[in-house]
Amino acid sequence: MPLLACRRLAFRLAAGAAVALVAAPALANDAAADLVSTTAAQAIDIIKTTTGAQRQAAIQQVLQTRFDLPYMAQTALGIHWAKATPEQQARFVKATETAEAKAYAERFGQYAGQTLAIGKTISRPNNVWIVSDACGWPNSVSPAR
């Protein structure tokens, strides 16, 4: 697979799937790689077997079960998160989840049989692991917040 296609696939299937994932408190290197690999396999299965609204709903389910969406939203808003009311925070998380599911459902329409192969896994401080794909594209995996 050409490097550009490999990186594009890593971005579409794994980059998001590996950032702020809901994970066990103490992952081992193999468990971190397994988490990324199983999430990518789940996404690939969704794009092979679903279309339209069904695909978007399935991707949204993956986001809800595999990602720490409140943490991701908090990180995205930065200092503005603390200024928002709990209702505003919840609306932002839901809006972000819906927008991401829609965007990935549309992007996955370009899927052409690519796969994701896990490269190496490196442990970092604070229960964070760097899981690289076979192209060397790194993705962080961290436990639930």
Q: What is the DSSP letter of 21?
A: B
Residues of the chain below pLDDT 70:
1-29, 136-145
> Is the distance from CB of 81 to CB of 73 less than 8 angstroms?
yes
- The per-residue pLDDT for 126 is 81
Q: And the tokens for 122?
A: 């490196």
- The per-residue pLDDT for 28 is 56
Angle between helices 52-66 and 29-49 (to 10 degrees): 170
Angle between helices 69-77 and 86-107 (to 10 degrees): 100
- Which candidate, 15, 41, 7, places its Cα nearest to that of 131? 15
- The per-residue pLDDT for 80 is 96
Q: And the tokens for 97?
A: 């989840």
